[in-house]
Amino acid sequence: MSDVTDNRDANRYELVEEGHKAVAAYKLSGDMITFTHTVVPQELQGRGVASRLIKAALDDVRARGLKVVAQCPFVAAYIERHPEERDLLA
């Protein structure tokens, strides 16, 4: 499994697998992080890549003490499916 990195210069979490990059873009404002959209290349779709990406991103957000605004429909659905993450919501 590939590692997820926080590309702070580009304001996005990234997961590279098989030469393709999935991203979860965000806007950071104080102690709030707003996830705006998640993009998974067609070559990686259907393999749980987006879920792995968001899980790692939320783990990092928790470690940094941030609160989440789930503007991205995928992030909102992920948090809905994983009640243990709901405390991160702003």
Q: What is the pLDDT along the chain (90 residues), one digit of tens a residue?
A: 458 999 999 999 999 999 999 999 999 999 999 999 999 999 999 999 999 999 999 999 999 999 999 999 999 999 999 999 999 999
3-state secondary structure of 55: helix
Q: How much is the pLDDT for 4?
A: 96
Q: How much is the pLDDT for 41?
A: 97
CA distance 62 to 9: 20
Q: Look at the domain 4-88 and name its fold.
A: Aminopeptidase (3.40.630)
3-state secondary structure of 66: coil
**Distance between terminal CA atoms of the chain?**
30
What is the H or E stretch that residue 36 is in? strand 32-39
Can you give the residue ranges of every domain in the chain? 4-88
pTM of the model: 0.94
